[in-house]
Amino acid sequence: MEPALHLRDPKDMERQAQKFRQQAEEFANEENEKMKPLSKDWQRDIDEFRRKFPKVYAAVEKHVLIEDRAQKAAAEARFQAETKKTADARVAADKAAASRVTAVSATATKVDPEAQWEADAALRAEFLDDKDRFMAYAKAVENGQVRLIGKK
């Protein structure tokens, strides 16, 4: 059990704080190393595209944000399902997978579910490699049997 904060040695508290700062700095450095900067040519091309086609750029950016949020939610749901193995976690994983597929199908034009299944490993993971479940969901979406009640 940790001693009360006011009873701890100030030097010990400073050492602990320094340790946390170092860990945070190391983590930030690792994350920064993973991100490669865009070349100037690519950045110029992106800026030019943004100026010429602002609506298309905004739609693509929105799609990327939706996809990113859905992937994070699905990853969190899979983590919960793996660690807790509860029915609630499995339901959350199904909801995350459903929201991702709905977001993708809402923003994309008509996409073949077979091709989508083969091309997207994250999608297969979200549906726990159950192709029949995904195909049934895709068919229900196509028939208008699946609706989103609210957005978070």
Computed over every residue of the chain, the mean pLDDT equals 76
Residue 93 lies in a domain: yes
Task: Return the closest-CA partner of residue 122 out of 144, 92, 96, 141.
Answer: 96
Quote the CA–CA distance of 25 and 32 in Å, as a whole number.
10
Count the domains in the chain.
1
Q: What is the pLDDT of residue 12?
A: 76
Residue 138 lies in a domain: yes
Q: Would you say residue 115 has pLDDT above 50?
A: yes
Residue 48 lies in a domain: no
Residue 133 lies in a domain: yes
What domain range includes position 106? Answer: 59-152
Query: What backbone phi and psi angles, to 5 degrees, belong to 8?
Result: -80, 150
Per residue in 74-103, pLDDT tens? 878 777 666 665 555 566 667 777 776 665
pLDDT level of residue 1 (50, 70, 90 thresholds):
very low
Residue 10 lies in a domain: no
pLDDT level of residue 34 (50, 70, 90 thresholds):
low
Residue 69 lies in a domain: yes
Q: CB within 8 A of 22, min separation 6: which ones?
A: none
Q: What is the average pLDDT across 10-21?
A: 79
Q: What is the average pLDDT across 35-46?
A: 77
Q: What is the average pLDDT across 100-126?
A: 73
Residue 24 lies in a domain: no
CB 90 within 8 A of CB 82: no
Q: Which of 81-85, 106-110, 118-122, 132-136 has the highest mean pLDDT?
A: 132-136
